[in-house]
Structure 1
Amino acid sequence: MNKTTFSLLLLLFSPLILMVFHIIFVRLNKNIFKFKISNQNTAIFCELILNIPIIFIFYSLNKSFSAAAYAFLVYNSLGYAYFHFFNMSETARRIKILLEIKKNKILKIENLTQDYKSDFMVKTRLQRLIELNQIKKINEKYFIKGKILLFATLMIRFLKKTLNLENKTL
């Protein structure tokens, strides 16, 4: 197998490699390391750490800065997609509802309205933002702390305005 084929296969399978690394890290963290880190931050951490071997391997094989830059862009784009796929499984209500129905074989609307009251949902989302270090709570008031999700939100807002989707959901 030539270097180019191996390099492209490495990128092709990088989401699978990331998923396996993520699984191993979560299990090690739960049983050994015991870092206080959210599930979303764990996924981001694993994606960032794997940049090192991916880019190193790509550069070593191709001896080219542009090949390493290409690997960086492609791997991080795939890692970004992996993060959102994982994050959806962590936070999407419809996913949790489907899993609850599968587990119990049936689910009544009363069970859902009990678990999904609006104040509970807002408090849960605020707590997640605190755990992700995106906001902080001081004297019952919330303030911006991190800039990553804020930047992503502003980029989505800009994209919606650019595509004339301001009054529609993206």
Structure 2
Amino acid sequence: SVTRFAMAQREIGLALGEPPTTKGYPPSVLSLLPQLMERTGKEEGKGTITAFFTVLVDGDDMSDPIADQSRSILDGHIVLSRELTDFGIYPPINIQNSASRVMSDIISPEHKLWARKFKRLNSLLKENEVLLRIGAYQKGSDKELDEAISKKEFMQKFLGQNPEESFEFNQTLE
């Protein structure tokens, strides 16, 4: 837990007289995060370490200094959403706020196009959610939004799955 690490270092730093900065974190916290996170990864002749770091934020505040610093250091991040949990969608991954810097290196160009399109259609649905709920959207006004609406059920099923379900990587492209 990066959050617990940062909180412990905050207490140490403050006890040693460091001045508090953003959200009460002393400078030592933000300087130690890269050291912690960059210990994982590939080291010539010594192998690779993969790590899953967790960062908890108050009230989904993604501008929290620990979350912000972590996103800037790591190769990717998966953002979980309380809102999706409330709708019973598991895993509650917010694809709009999640990212991978290495995705392009490990997928085909076709897969990349599909992923971008999926994310775009999902964004359109989110942006126009209020219009759709109150019935103010006129079909035919926006072809791309019409496509998103027609694929909404499929996209929701794709994003959520039961714990008993598992899919091979290639199945996600079908």
Q: Same fold (TM over 0.5)?
A: no
Task: Say which structure is richer in helix.
Answer: 1
| TM-score (normalizing by structure 2) | 0.28
